[in-house]
Structure 1
Amino acid sequence: MLKPANPRFSSGPCAKRPGFSLAGLESALLGRSHRAGDAKSRLAEVITRSRAILGMPADYRLGIVPASDTGAVEMALWSLLGPRGVDVLAWESFSAEWAHDIEAELKLPDVRLLRADYGKLPELSAVDPARDCVFVWNGTTSGVRLTDGDWISDGRQGLTICDATSAAFAMELPWPKLDVVTWSWQKVLGGEAAHGMLALSPRAVARLEAHKPAWPLPKIFRLTKGGKLIEGIFKGDTINTPSMLCVEDALDGLRWAEGIGGLKGLIARTEGNLATIAGWVAQSDWARFLAEVPATRSCTSVCLRIVAPWFTALDHAAQAKAAARLSAILEAEGVALDAASYRDAPPGLRIWCGATVEQADVAALLPWLDQAFARVTAEFSA
């Protein structure tokens, strides 16, 4: 059988763009201060190109922040929450982490957790527009995504804080509904890790300038000084030292995205990958999407559950062992690296199908899934 030309299906860091070469990074400003004019210009270019591709409103700020998407989300939570009650939507691992931090670390007194099991979305109509709301757009570990922002009130009094790390550049985001949006470089555009992006609406900026948190803020979380937004953060003057090699890599990915048609081209590639897997799942006698409602199936982090009777009859520990064996076979064959489900998710597979993944590689992988599962079946159901 034909093998994928690129077997990298990791959900983060994700596959580099097609045709990527280290030669494309030779212009990186290595050994230069990130505060030098040329370096700040490159950082500002990442911001400008990202804004344009994503169609971000002109009055939103966008900045580069430390510690990947996690750093961007934590910066928003610790800097903005407190004045209102908070609704937290949790339907996978990372959204559950944000809920834990809000409840156990910030110790906010008025927190409502709207939870759903893997494969489902919480009851979105229960969100109170008078409260702040924290949520992911795409469940990276559950393969379940939001379909729209219609459930978010245009007349809301609270802020909406959206972790969009596995959605940005692959899905349409309803910007007027979102007050804070975060993502990282290492997802849909296949950039290198450790850098996050933080987008703020005018409403979020107003909150930052009016609200002083009751807890201390470390330097890397501080977005204001003297009660005013630190505008330099959103012009390339980063809080801490960025990697200029990673900056050059991010620009490489952004230029590639522009060359394939911008956001529309990125979405088309990603949705095409999902459609390829959906056609296979429809014929499979052992695999199903973890997302229960077709419209909520993620087109990036595609999560599959195993429905073969011998597998479902096993206890959880045995299921985890069988699923681990399945991903190990795929890796040993060199057809899918890092395709195991997330450790907290139901045992199965997670196949990254973001824009940097070629549809031909997804198609080439599918027969190998069947062959690997047949081997696992022989080993575990004997």
Structure 2
Amino acid sequence: MTRHHAPEARPRAPYFSSGPCAKRPGWSLQALENAALGRSHRAKLGKSKLARAIDLTRSVLRVPDDYRIGIVPASDTGAVEMAMWTMLGARGVDMLAWESFGEGWVTDAVKQLALDDARVITADYGFLPDLAQVDAANRDVVFTWNGTTSGVRVPNADWIPAAREGVVICDATSAAFAQALDWEKLDVVTFSWQKVLGGEAAHGMLILSPRAVARLESWKPPRPLPKIFRLTKGGKLIEGIFAGETINTPSMLAVEDYLDALEWAESIGGLDALIARADANAGVIHEWVARTDWVANLARDPATASNTSVCLMIDDPEIVALGQDAVAALAKKMVARLDAEGVAYDIGAYRDAPPGLRIWCGATVERADLEALTAWLDWAFEQEKATLAG
């Protein structure tokens, strides 16, 4: 239906960025009033807050008791780098990539670490690699559970055997708290606070299985390690890192914000409720796509479509016939128009991804806001297509 006038209903919170993501419903600066500002993170108060952040993470994510959880520098990127630089090289590794962040880990393994035996298994945007090619029984594996910039996720971890020789390193930054992670199949799990829980940036989480700890304590990487990457001392795990004794100075304001997000998660029903909210949110967009003729999901297989970072393509035949430059230009103008209207911020596709839109549907977003957004997306498309045609 042609919509000549802007919709009347507006998203209450127009925050659909894929990171930093929307704050939890009802959030205000008052949530941070008890932050340990001006206090050392090594003082009793600071350490207790960091330890509580670890304990609540374990509780909400249902992390097994024998897995270690640490707060580390440099967001999810820092956590993945720490794992790769300290663990890879002990045996061959299969590197999986189907979007930009996975491609970044491939670059690190092949060009920076220069690993002798790194097999790269890739797929184009919108698709998963052939997981049957992965030898997770005998080799290390590095992969992203949810491809943030492609909107494609693994549907499960059935392709990873429980009995295996290597370690499986999983970048779960857009999956943790919104998708069910199979802990038995994962040895290193990383994520950042600013995704599904809408926390503040700069801090990463590093979760290690007993198998990962055994690798750290039994194998010394043949490369210099910067201080912030060192997880062992004298051949033993530095246990303090996993008890709130962070490697560098964390922001206690950001810690307080993460605690607030975790407490909100527990208050609404924990992990099950978070997953249900993300599923319902993504369902709004997927159902709208199914009945809309100018847009398509970048994830070709519904079974692999993300419930957090939903990536969309402009699929209008008239626009597509004009070429990718026209598609990119239209998408960019749509994003700018919706931003100017104050109804959707930061919904452009990632810079390395195919041109289109990317709408965050994680648990902190309200379903009603996404329902209102769909009408504005239709309106913006019609306005920009008319401008392009004119």
Class of the TM-score when normalised by the shorter of the 2 chains: over 0.9
In 1, distance between residues paired with 2:39 and 2:233?
27
What residue identity is the alignment partner of 1:14? C
Instruction: State the partner residue of 1:112.
Output: 119
Deviation (angstroms), 1:87: 0.5
In 1, distance between residues paired with 2:171 and 2:130?
18
* Correspondence 1:37 to 2:44: yes
In 2, distance between residues paired with 1:125 and 1:357?
35
Deviation (angstroms), 1:274: 0.9
In 1, distance between residues paired with 2:326 and 2:204?
37
Unaligned runs of 5+ in 1: none
* SS of equivalent residue, structure 1 residue 65: strand
Deviation (angstroms), 1:56: 0.7
Match among 2, 9, 20 for residue 13 of structure 1:
20
Instruction: State the partner residue of 1:135.
Output: 143
* Correspondence 1:180 to 2:188: yes
Instruction: State the partner residue of 1:71.
Output: 78
* SS of equivalent residue, structure 1 residue 40: helix
Match among 190, 215, 223 for residue 231 of structure 2:
223
Q: Deviations over 1:62-86 (max 9, x none)?
A: 0000000000000000010011111
Number of positions where the alignment pairs a residue of Structure 1 with one of Structure 2? 382
What residue identity is the alignment partner of 2:244? G
Conserved 8 A contact 1:17-1:356: yes
What residue identity is the alignment partner of 2:101? F
Deviation (angstroms), 1:323: 1.1
Instruction: State the partner residue of 1:266.
Output: 274
In 2, distance between residues paired with 1:171 and 1:314?
38
Q: Deviations over 1:123-160 (max 9, x none)?
A: 00100121110000000000001111000011211110
Conserved 8 A contact 1:310-1:381: no
| Identical-residue share of aligned pairs (%) | 64
* SS of equivalent residue, structure 2 residue 143: strand
Q: Deviations over 1:272-293 (max 9, x none)?
A: 0011112111110111111001
What residue identity is the alignment partner of 1:4? P
In 2, distance between residues paired with 1:116 and 1:263?
30
Match among 22, 32, 37 for residue 25 of structure 1:
32
Instruction: State the partner residue of 1:285.
Output: 293
Match among 333, 338, 360 for residue 341 of structure 2:
333
Instruction: State the partner residue of 1:300.
Output: 308
In 2, distance between residues paired with 1:338 and 1:162?
26
In 2, distance between residues paired with 1:155 and 1:175?
13
Alignment map for 1:243-258 (pairs within 5 Å):
243-258=251-266
Q: Deviations over 1:82-118 (max 9, x none)?
A: 1111101100000000000110000001111100001
Unaligned runs of 5+ in 2: 1-7
Conserved 8 A contact 1:305-1:348: yes
Alignment map for 1:229-240 (pairs within 5 Å):
229-240=237-248
Conserved 8 A contact 2:320-2:326: no
In 2, distance between residues paired with 1:330 and 1:30?
37
Conserved 8 A contact 2:74-2:204: yes
Consecutive aligned runs of 4 or more in structure 1 exceeding 4 Å deviation: none
Q: Deviations over 1:222-265 (max 9, x none)?
A: 00000000000000000000000000000000000000000001
Conserved 8 A contact 2:314-2:327: no
* SS of equivalent residue, structure 1 residue 369: helix
Aligned-residue Cα RMSD (Å) equals 0.7
* SS of equivalent residue, structure 2 residue 359: strand
Deviation (angstroms), 1:381: 2.8
Deviation (angstroms), 1:312: 1.4
In 2, distance between residues paired with 1:136 and 1:173?
12
Farther-moved stretch of structure 1 (350-359 vs 303-312): 303-312
Conserved 8 A contact 1:161-1:178: yes
Instruction: State the partner residue of 1:167.
Output: 175
Instruction: State the partner residue of 1:46.
Output: 53
Conserved 8 A contact 2:310-2:358: yes
TM value normalised by structure 1:
0.99
Instruction: State the partner residue of 2:155.
Output: 147
Deviation (angstroms), 1:315: 2.9
In 2, distance between residues paired with 1:316 and 1:306?
10
* SS of equivalent residue, structure 1 residue 295: helix
In 2, distance between residues paired with 1:45 and 1:261?
18
* Correspondence 1:121 to 2:128: yes
